[in-house]
Structure formats: structure tokens, C-alpha cells
Structure 1
Amino acid sequence: PDHLLIAWSSGLLEARAWDTGLPLWQANTTVETWGLTATPTVTDAGLLVTTRTGIELRCPADGTVLEGVETGLGWRNPASFVNGTAYVGDENGRLWSWTPGSPASFVELGGAIRHAPVHVNGGLLVHVQVERASTVEWLALGADGQPREASQVHSFPSGASPGMPVALSETLVAVADFSGVHLLNWTAEGWNSTRLTSSPVQGPLRFEAGHVTASENGPNGGFLAFDVAEGFAGVTIPSNLRGYGTAPPVACGEAWLLVKDDGVAVLEPEQSGPLCPLSPTSSPAPEGTSVDRSPAVWTLSLMVAFLAGSTAAYRRGPLHGLRLASPFLLVALVAMMPALMGWWVEQVPETQTEPVWDDTWPEAWREGQVVVFELPNETLAVGGLDPRPSVLESTLAAADELGVSIALEAHSLGTWVTAVDGVAADGWVYEVDGTRPMVGPEGFALDQTSVIVWRLA
């Protein structure tokens, strides 16, 4: 490959040299709360980029826009490109079709589509997410490349929080959700289904080197691999790396590259041989202990201020002594500020409130994060959200689910929420699991099942 393409949630799209990592070009895309949340697709016509509100066809050499079209609001929705036509889903369950040079059109399916439509048996498979469930749909493609209505006999009920399906052959596809992984084989009468595992998989399925791979998404989740040539027999991936995660194992020679949500990457086995040049290792911690020199600075400054002031006061009076000592006193005060701030934070107790779980909420919400907005005239809540690392990220995801607008304002201390659904008043504060943190929403790390409550200050 000539380029390594990287899409950022800030809206930045960049290409880097695959061997050196040096930047080749950068381009900015439309930002709608978030920037890019979907993987770009390389096609013969160019680079197909899905923004939050549309599709762009860009030049792979420099990133310039060749053509573009607006679609519905999307989230983690890469596009597919089949016979010159692009297909993409959105958060309203619309399956969009766009042939460059022509206007876009769509078919209504309901729910949310958060993966690239899969080309199967001359049609498109989409895994539509609805509340606490999902449905696999298949739509035949007409001679004009436009999807027809969803086939009733190919509507397959599935579990909550679907992953991203992958085609294994012209008629065989693997799908995943919270209830496990299924093989679906297309027939004219409907799908022939086979369950491969009951482990929850809510990320992409990968098919390479004769294996279907996935990551178990759970507190002790490991990795899954199935050997296609051996009738999809399970393959053991020996690794101590466990936990929440959605990234599937990637084959590297005879080894597997593994990663979980905590950001640790490992290679199993570590001695992977010449077919895999990778050797991910942890960066060694710097030797020695960092020394805080601020106490020495303010102590020395106070001593100099005392000596200089005393000498000046003795010779020319108290006013001259104070004038000469003032700069040194200011230096001492600045040097003491970090220690004073740390002491102040330790003295301020965290605000404790009552537990926030509401017994009227669905039990399925306990399996993910919950976000609540207490508006003046109503309370909006959504739960069972895919785990996100910070309060801000989970809040924005919940706002997308509920169709609520969020106004943000950047400060030197971080990003703050200033309005929810147009309501600003005196600002908004948040609590996590009944505790009001002393940091901004982008700086507070969440657990996998945290409950976040936003209310007016």
C-alpha cells in the first residue's frame, strides 16, 4: 500500500506513508457534533468517505473532493461501493443509494444502520438496530442498481447491539450481536442459520486467512476465531489479554495481533517468525523519580525576599524594603500554586447523592452505560449504550440516540456542556453513579455500566 488512511472524530482525514508514518496530505470534513466515525472505503472511482451527513468521493492522491452528496445523519456507517453505486445507512434506518453524478435516494427500513451494507447474492444485507433487538434484512438490487423493498422471507430476527457483518462467499454471511455469532446462508426460501457461539460480539467480524475472527465484548471477554476449512471449528487464541473490546484479531503470519479497549496491543505468539515483522512492546518507564522542584524555588524566593527586604528597610526604610522584596514574593507565590491547588482539591469533599438507578428502566440497560438529561419539563433517558471511555463521549452518543442537541464550549480546563436541547440557563452539571466529580466531562473516565445524570446548575 502507498497510503495509510486515518479518519479522526475531529473531522480530520489524513494520509500517511505506510512505512515511515510521515504525513502525505490532510483534509477537513464536515463536523456534526462528531467528525468522521466510519472507515473510508477505497474504490476504483476514488476514496469514498462517509461524513456524519453525507458521502464524499475524494482523490486518493491529495484528498480533494471530486463529488459529494448529502444523506441522513450517520454514526459508524461506512459505505459500500457496488458496480459504480455507493450504499450507506443512517441513524433513521434509511438505506441510501448514490451513483456519482446523480442525486441520492433511499429506502426506509427503520431503526439504525451502523455498518457497511454487505453485497450478498446480488442484493444488500443490512443489520438494522432497534431498541433491545435487531433485524437482518436483505434487499435485491434492480438493474439500475437501486435497492428494492426488503424481502420478507429474508427478514431474520436477531439480538440487541448488533456488530458489523462480513460476507464469506456469494451466499454466506456471518452476523453478530449481544447474543452471539450466526452464519446465514441465503436460499430462495429464506436464511439457513447456524449459531457459532453465544459470546457477545458487538464489533466488526473479520474474514481473512481462512478464519472468521471477533472480539468478545465483556468484562472477561477474550477473542474468537473459526476455521472455515474445518467447518468453522473454533480455534483457540491463547492470550491473557481480556476485557471489553470490539476489535477482532488480525492475522500476522502465524500469529495474531490482539487489542482491547484499554489500548494494550499484544502479539500471540510473541515469536511470530519472518512472516510477521511486528513486535509490539510496552514502552519502558523512564528510570529515576521525577523531582518536584517548586518547593525549592519558593523557599529560595522567600529567603531572598526576606534578606533583600531587610537590607533595604535597614538602609532606606520599610517602603523601599517592601518594593525590593515584592518580585521575589511574587515568584514564591507562583511556585507555590500547584501545591496549594492540590491541597485545596484534597480538602473539598466529593458531593454524594442518592443512587440514580430507576426501577422503571429496562433491565437490559444495566448491560451498558445510561445517560439521563433532566430538562425543566421532562426527563430523557437512554441506556444499554456501548461503553465509551469518557462522560463527554457517552453524553454525545446518548444525545444522538435521543435526538437531543448539545452545545459545547471549549475552555482552558477542557470542554463543557453549556446547553441541552436549547436549554442553557446557568449551565449544566453532571453526576456519575451518584457522585459529582471535580473535573470536566472529557476528563472523567467511566466504567462499562456507569449512570450519568445531567441537570441544570
Structure 2
Amino acid sequence: MAKRSAHSSVQQFSRSRSDCMIRRMAIICMLFTLCAAAFPVQATSEDSWQLDWEVDLGEGYISTKPVIANETVFVRSSGFWTGDERPQVFAFSLEGEQRWNRTSATTVQHDMSPLILITNGTGPCGSWPELLVVGWADGTVEALNPENGTLVWNQSSYVQGWGITGALAVDGDHLVVPTRNGLMRICLSDGTIDFDVELDLGWRNGVLVTDGGFYIGDEAGTLWHVNREGNASSFASLEGSIRHPPLLTNAGILVHVQHPTSSAIYAINLSNETPILLHESGPSPAIPSMKGDYVVTGDSSFLSTFECQQHCTLRSQYSTTTNGELVWVEMNRIWYSVNLPTGHWSMASLNQTGAITNSTKFSTPHDGYGTAAPAFDEQRMVMGNDAGILMMFTLGQESLLDSEPVISEPYDWTPAFGAFILICFLFVGAYSTSLQRIDWAWKIVVLTMLISMLLLMPDLSSSWSQTVSEQTASEKSDQWNNTWPEAWAGTQIVVIEIDGEQETVGGLLGHETALDLTLAAAQEASWEVEVESTELGTFVVSINGEEGSGWEYFLDGERAGQSSDLQPVSESTVLEWRLVRR
């Protein structure tokens, strides 16, 4: 009896000690999870930007992006003024001390041609030092010494109400100037005019430089082409006003045309000069900007992104009001000003397909109307608004290792929440084991492993598919059909099969995912493709109204293993869609 009592006491002591250890481990795990969730590791946060100094430039707007170079900040004022105040160009040290300023006593309103800093060089028309070039609304082009603001040379252009308001462009050893009524090309060494072409009246209409010449829009919606001999021709006629430098994309020349109460984005084919309407949007367009295959546009309704490869495709829209400059930081971040009485700056983040995932607000002590984009170097950000306030921000010491000055995206709590749930399951399993409920413990462990595998499966599948795609990217597809045009060899091909009947589109290039390739082929062949987005990815629901029991796709004869928006494709793949009927 004594032995049994002693044995029972030892068992109870052992179980009590085991329960105590389990409780302690559970508490430690939960505290660790909560700490990880409460103190997430993030990139540079908004708090990392510290206001270093600010300067009031007086009457007038800051409507163009400052320039940071040579340990100096260059900025210009523009717009309306009172009394003897006139627009100026300023140079400040990185500490905010004014080094020089230059006033144009004869200029008029709308001084909004961006400053352009040109490095020294030599060309057929001569040699030139480093120049800070200013286009004034009185029609004057001035080349200044950036060290002290003294005049190197100047040149005059036509004025009707105002003169130069658009962005200048460098063309080798020449400067190309969008004048009030045309386009002028001058030598960088001394300002000598190469040619001065009369077109039609323009405003804020910058110039696009290409190997074949120059493109510029006007207030009547005409897109002009001027060859290198100075001969002009109408390239495209669009209703409205073109108030920005045209963009050269893989799909043609992109312009955002302004209408009285709306706007429209077009891509003009270079070979047949046919304008294609991409999208209709809100009024008062911003100045579109391009990075790689992606174009961002803005207006009083939306910030929009397009992917332009063989065709331009609208990727996403974000509701906002932005009417000025847009600037890229890295490949996936865009800074823009929100042009409202309570306006501010914002940064939009893009995913790998060019879609806007979120927009983060950046406030300053002087929020309000603004159209000028911020300027960046490795550790600084300079911005100015319509109130004429110039502000310099620097990164905190803890963020100086960041290669690009960006603010953080909102923290995603999903991983921390998932880890907390898994730890809770493991705690319950451990507690069940302490109660000798082995069957329940095993069930909980298996359930935990299943949940973990489901969470990891998309990343594992994507990595595996990417590896396979990279290994086979250079191989010629075994699915080649000898009836296809030889010009399709080495390109991306899409086949649609319905009840044994096939339609094929080939000669496609540059598409990175199966979905992108499918939508490009659909646009080429006028197919109607309906897709549905789920938590597991985006799936094709119907093609040309055919749904059946679903659609499945094959890459080079092999059935794909994930959703089409996640599936990488090679440069010479054959993508085949088959309708399933059961």
C-alpha cells in the first residue's frame, strides 16, 4: 500500500512538473510571437525622413522638380507674382545656404519648363562646359554656369502670350527646344540655331528625341514629326491638347490627350501611324512617365499604370488627383503630388505585373496644392509646392544603408498572425500529450503540418516553375507546327483549341507570364477572354464565350501546375489552351 502511494505521488509530481514546463514553453512561444508582430522589421519608414531645412522662395509656385547635383540643389519659381517679384532660378548648398539666384525681369506667367543640367562634352558643333539650361516663358533659352549662375549663352524664340513652357531635351551636341509655335534645335557650345520649325501653338508640350527625328504635340491635338533636316509632317491628329513630351514605347508613341472635362490615352503605331485608344480617364492630365515596359499616367481622377510591350495594356488604377510631374524610384515605386487644398505627396507601389498594390501618404509641414515631383539622391529628398516652399529631407542614420530613398509600405500582419495560430496548435498538441491524449496530439500535429504545407505551396510551386522555365527558355519548342509562318520561330505562340478546332497567334515577344501572353494574343486576335481572381491566383473562365467545364493550359506540351498569372514563360514558348467538357 505504501509502495502504491509512493508510486502515485511520483507520477503526480512528474505530471505536475511536466505541465509546468509545457506552460512555461507555451508562454515563451506566445511572447516571442507577440514581440515579432509588435516590432516588425521594415524598410525605411516615413519617420526615417527628417526635415533638414526649408526655404520660402517668395511669391510664385514651385511647379517643376528640383535638381540635385554637385552638392547643390537647383530650383526655379514660376506662376503668378505681385509687385516687383519675378520668377527666379536658385542654387542652394545641401545645408540650405543660397549660393546664387538669377531673375528674369522680362518673363511672363507659366514659367514651368523643367531645369536641365547638361554635362560637359564635345561634338561636331563644338565643345561646351557643364551647363544649367533654363527655358523662360518670355521665349528665351539661357545656358548658365551652375557654379555661379553667370550667363554662358542665350537664344530667343517666338512669343505669343508666352514662350517656352515645355521640357527641353538633349540630342547629342544639340539642345532641342519646344517653342511656343514649333521646335528649335540649337548647338550646345554657343546657342547657334540649327533649325527653327514653325508648327502650331503649344503649351507645356515637351519634345521626344528619337533616331529618326523628333516628336512634339500641340494644343490642337496634332502629333508632329520633325526629321533631322528640320522638315515637319503631321504624324497623328487627335482631338484635344497634348501637353507633355510624347513617350516612345515598344507599342508605339504614347500620348495623354487633354479634353475639357476628360482625357484619353493613345498609342500611335510607328509603322502605319494609326492611333489606338487605350483608355479614357479624368480631366487635367499629369505628365506621364515611363520605366522599362511600364508607363504611369495621372489626372484628376486616377493614377493609372500601363504595360507596353507589343501592345499597351492597362494594368491598374488608383483613385487620386495628380496633375503634375510623376517620378520613378526604383522599378516599382512612383512618387506623385496630390494637387488639392489639403494635398500632399504620395508613393505608389507596384507589383511585378505593374499593378498598383498600395499608395502611401507622405505629409510635410506645408501640405497643399502642388505639381512638382520630388528629387532624390542616395540620402536626400527635395520637394517644393505651389506655396513656393522648398524643403530638404534626409534619411535617419539607421536607414543610410538603404540604396534608394523610399518609405515603407503598410506592414502585412498575415505572417505574424499565421505564426501565432500555428504556435497555438502546437501548444494544444503538447498539452494533449501531457494529458496522455496521444491520439488528439497526433491529429493536431498533422493538422499543423497540413496548414504549413498549404501556406508554403504557392511559393514552392512558383520557385519550381521559375527554375524549370529558366532551364528550358533557350530550347526550341517541340510543339512547332510546320504550317506556321517561319517568322514565328523563336517567338511566343498561343493556341486556342475548342472541340478539336484551333486558332493560333504567333510572333509575340517579351511576355513574362502565361496570363500576360494570353491577353496579348487575345488583343491581337480579338478574342474575348474572361478571367477570375482568387486567393490561389487568376484563372481563365471563358474564351469567346466558351466555358465548358473549365480551361486548362499547356506549356510546350506539358500541363502547367499553377495559375496562369504566376506561371513564367520563356521567349520561345508554345502556350496551348484547351476547353474541357465533361
Which TM-score applies when normalising by structure 2?
Answer: 0.43
Question: Matches of residues 405-424 of structure 1 in structure 2 within 5 Å?
Answer: none
Determine the structure 1 residue equivalent to 2:39.
none
Aligned: 1:266 with 2:398: no
Which of 305, 313, 319 aligns to 1:198? It is 319
- Equivalent position amino acid for 1:113 in 2: I
Determine the structure 2 residue equivalent to 1:127.
256
Equivalent pair of 1:174/1:184 in contact (CA under 8 Å): yes
Q: Deviations over 1:189-240 (max 9, x none)?
A: 6523212x32200012112444321111000100022345787554553422
TM-aligned CA distance change 1:187 to 1:22, over 3 Å: closer
TM-aligned CA distance change 1:255 to 1:237, over 3 Å: farther
Determine the structure 1 residue equivalent to 2:172.
44
Which of 304, 307, 317 aligns to 1:182? It is 304
Q: Identify which of structures 1 and 2 has the higher relative contact order when contacts are C-alpha pairs closer than 8 Å and 6+ apart.
A: 2
Determine the structure 2 residue equivalent to 1:221.
343
- Equivalent position amino acid for 2:296 in 1: A
Aligned: 1:253 with 2:378: yes
The residue matched to 1:141 in structure 2 has which SS? Answer: coil
Which of 141, 150, 162 aligns to 2:270? It is 141
- Equivalent position amino acid for 2:314 in 1: N
Determine the structure 2 residue equivalent to 1:355.
none
Determine the structure 2 residue equivalent to 1:237.
362
The residue matched to 2:202 in structure 1 has which SS? Answer: coil
The residue matched to 1:175 in structure 2 has which SS? Answer: strand
TM-aligned CA distance change 1:236 to 1:105, over 3 Å: same
Determine the structure 2 residue equivalent to 1:108.
237
Query: For structure 2, which runs of at least 5 residues remain unmatched after alignment?
Result: 1-118, 120-129, 402-582
TM-aligned CA distance change 1:22 to 1:189, over 3 Å: closer
Q: Give the Cα–Cα distance (whole angstroms) in 2 for the partners of residues 52 and 19 of structure 1.
A: 30
Structure 1 range deviating more: 86-95 or 155-164: 155-164
- Equivalent position amino acid for 1:29 in 2: S
Determine the structure 1 residue equivalent to 2:451.
none
- Equivalent position amino acid for 2:338 in 1: E
Equivalent pair of 1:238/1:268 in contact (CA under 8 Å): no
Between Structure 1 and Structure 2, how many residues are aligned? 267
Equivalent pair of 2:183/2:196 in contact (CA under 8 Å): yes
Structure 1 residue 19: Cα displacement: 2.5
Q: Give the Cα–Cα distance (whole angstroms) in 2 for the partners of residues 274 and 49 of structure 1.
A: 38
Structure 1 residue 155: Cα displacement: 2.6
Aligned: 1:54 with 2:182: yes
Structure 1 range deviating more: 89-98 or 36-45: 36-45
The residue matched to 1:105 in structure 2 has which SS? Answer: strand
Q: Give the Cα–Cα distance (whole angstroms) in 1 for the partners of residues 230 and 149 of structure 2.
A: 37
TM-aligned CA distance change 1:235 to 1:17, over 3 Å: farther
Which of 203, 207, 221 aligns to 1:93? It is 221
Determine the structure 1 residue equivalent to 2:284.
161
The residue matched to 1:269 in structure 2 has which SS? Answer: strand
Question: Matches of residues 22-41 of structure 1 in structure 2 within 5 Å?
Answer: 22-41=150-169
TM-aligned CA distance change 1:156 to 1:267, over 3 Å: same
**Percent identity for Structure 1 against Structure 2:** 29
Q: Give the Cα–Cα distance (whole angstroms) in 1 for the partners of residues 311 and 144 of structure 2.
A: 47
Q: Deviations over 1:341-384 (max 9, x none)?
A: xxxxxxxxxxxxxxxxxxxxxxxxxxxxxxxxxxxxxxxxxxxx
Structure 1 residue 271: Cα displacement: 6.9
Q: Deviations over 1:219-273 (max 9, x none)?
A: 0100022345787554553422211110011113223211101110001238799
Equivalent pair of 1:49/1:56 in contact (CA under 8 Å): yes
Equivalent pair of 1:6/1:13 in contact (CA under 8 Å): yes
Q: Give the Cα–Cα distance (whole angstroms) in 1 for the partners of residues 351 and 133 of structure 2.
A: 32
Q: Give the Cα–Cα distance (whole angstroms) in 1 for the partners of residues 146 and 330 of structure 2.
A: 22
Larger radius of gyration: 2
Structure 1 range deviating more: 178-187 or 49-58: 178-187
- Equivalent position amino acid for 1:248 in 2: A
Structure 1 residue 26: Cα displacement: 1.5
- Equivalent position amino acid for 1:79 in 2: V
- Equivalent position amino acid for 2:322 in 1: V
Equivalent pair of 2:217/2:224 in contact (CA under 8 Å): yes
Determine the structure 1 residue equivalent to 2:431.
none
- Equivalent position amino acid for 2:266 in 1: E
Which TM-score applies when normalising by structure 1?
Answer: 0.55
The residue matched to 1:91 in structure 2 has which SS? Answer: coil
Q: Give the Cα–Cα distance (whole angstroms) in 1 for the partners of residues 395 and 150 of structure 2.
A: 27
Q: Give the Cα–Cα distance (whole angstroms) in 2 for the partners of residues 102 and 22 of structure 1.
A: 31
Equivalent pair of 2:346/2:360 in contact (CA under 8 Å): yes
Aligned: 1:66 with 2:194: yes
TM-aligned CA distance change 1:121 to 1:190, over 3 Å: closer
Q: Give the Cα–Cα distance (whole angstroms) in 2 for the partners of residues 137 and 213 of structure 1.
A: 23
